[in-house]
Structure 1
């Protein structure tokens, strides 16, 4: 298991779903972890306490709004003040809307681009100077199979995730000689609250039942016919933060049951 004792990780969008699973993995590996996201305050505190007890590091919560660049910068600065450094950033925050392009709500387009793509830029921009000064850093951008291929009715999400992959490659080249790696993890479908919420919308848009959406849409392209798990994604993330992965950078790594291989 990767040992991250003494390291500090910020995981955006980590109060539920994939992000919480990733944060649990980092906490178990001994890292200090900054949780971030929205939700019920009592539930977030319960999750923070649970993760705090898993390893040698401490777990804190920062409610920075990922649509607000000043709050994002303040979150990074606060983590540095609390722990002395930010060594790992995991840009995971995401939202989704499923709609035909001609009906796509303009405000949802802006929100999806801000949260899914622009926030990653702002987190990286704020964290890289400290990583360069210490000569070590790991940047993980949670993209998607939709960062590599498209699906109908998800124009904003697909656009944002393709942008995240492009950002990953560019940053990787810029920081390659500074002991910093930057990679994207591209999951297939994980049965998270985000995915479960889009099933009824997809069913309506395609004129299908919800069970048909799961079988014939979500898992249709995943040749394993299995949903990806958050534990599997956490394992991949920890590997990319390990010393043996120091020459893996600029990669968009599919974890998608063979979806993008076909």
Structure 2
């Protein structure tokens, strides 16, 4: 049975991805700050080297192999550059960019041994475009797309593929938590933030559902996704068509 490691798996896209992979027949280690995810739950602080190394070791110890990594864990902070807290910058970059690098580094031998290892990052449309007040998030997501391209080139000979799933706004706690800050920054109500800020870039005016992103992840992890590597897989309801 193939084995997967999913980060940020206690809620949102991560939980949906872990549940979908389990339904598709994978053993799954669900990693989050708390051990509250589908499959085998594992608590780790992914802003540390030890947390990432421990998660990879736990997956291999639990399943005897590791075929798929879904690097999904993320946080957000909304503030202009002049006011952006430096410690929040450090935390966001460590979780969104350094953690995927460390997961790939520590899991590389296992992914190579799989013969068809898959490294999938949930990277956001903000890997391709920018928005104001999100300097750390946008910078980290742009960086992780570069990481994916590098992993694809280095992993090709070993059969490892690397892709970045780039959704627009998804109905998750991470998006919902932005509403009060965005309302304050723009001087409008939270309902107006959803309509006039969050959904404004979408050609189709709705939030993407976590299960839709999970289905894309499952496709990339499966045999039909084998030809995708080194690329963003964009599902943004028309955001980048503008």
The reply to whether TM is greater than 0.5 is: yes
Unaligned runs of 5+ in 2: none
1:151 to 131, 137, 145: 131
1:205 correspondence with 2:185: yes
Task: Note the C-alpha offset of 1:133.
Answer: 2.5
Task: Note the C-alpha offset of 1:134.
Answer: 3.1
Indicate if the aligned counterparts of 2:66 and 2:114 stay in contact, CA closer than 8 A.
no
Task: Note the C-alpha offset of 1:207.
Answer: 1.1
**Could you report, residue by residue, the CA deviation over 1:186-226 in whole angstroms, capped at 9, with x for unpaired residues?**
01001211111111001101111111110011111111111
Q: Aligned partners of 2:158, 2:188: CA distance in 1, in Å? A: 50
Task: Note the C-alpha offset of 1:73.
Answer: 0.8
**Could you report, residue by residue, the CA deviation over 1:13-54 in whole angstroms, capped at 9, with x for unpaired residues?**
110111111111111111011111124x6xx2xx53xxxxxx
Indicate if the aligned counterparts of 2:76 and 2:92 stay in contact, CA closer than 8 A.
yes
**TM-score, normalization: structure 1?**
0.90
Task: Note the C-alpha offset of 1:243.
Answer: 1.5
**Could you report, residue by residue, the CA deviation over 1:83-131 in whole angstroms, capped at 9, with x for unpaired residues?**
1111100000100000010000111010000111110000011111112
Q: Aligned partners of 2:211, 2:240: CA distance in 1, in Å? A: 21
1:26 to 1, 11, 21: 21
Aligned to 1:175, the other structure's residue is in SS state helix
Q: Aligned partners of 2:107, 2:226: CA distance in 1, in Å? A: 18
Residue 249 of structure 1 is matched in structure 2 by 229
Residue 37 of structure 1 is matched in structure 2 by 32
1:136 correspondence with 2:103: no
Residue 180 of structure 1 is matched in structure 2 by 160
**TM-score, normalization: structure 2?**
0.97
Q: How does 1:1-80 map to 2 (within 5 A)?
A: 6-39=1-34, 44=36, 47-48=37-38, 59-80=39-60
Residue 225 of structure 1 is matched in structure 2 by 205
Q: Aligned partners of 2:4, 2:18: CA distance in 1, in Å? A: 8
Q: Aligned partners of 2:71, 2:211: CA distance in 1, in Å? A: 17
Q: How does 1:234-245 map to 2 (within 5 A)?
A: 234-245=214-225
Indicate if the aligned counterparts of 2:9 and 2:15 stay in contact, CA closer than 8 A.
yes
Task: Note the C-alpha offset of 1:132.
Answer: 1.3
Residue 84 of structure 1 is matched in structure 2 by 64
Q: Aligned partners of 2:55, 2:225: CA distance in 1, in Å? A: 27
Aligned to 1:141, the other structure's residue is in SS state strand
**Structure 1 stretches of at least 4 aligned residues deviating more than 2 Å after TM superposition:** none
Q: Aligned partners of 1:16, 1:241: CA distance in 2, in Å? A: 20
Residue 240 of structure 2 is matched in structure 1 by 260
Aligned residues: 242
1:119 to 99, 102, 109: 99
Q: Aligned partners of 1:227, 1:207: CA distance in 2, in Å? A: 22
Unaligned runs of 5+ in 1: 1-5, 49-58
Q: Aligned partners of 1:123, 1:213: CA distance in 2, in Å? A: 35
Q: Aligned partners of 2:112, 2:26: CA distance in 1, in Å? A: 19
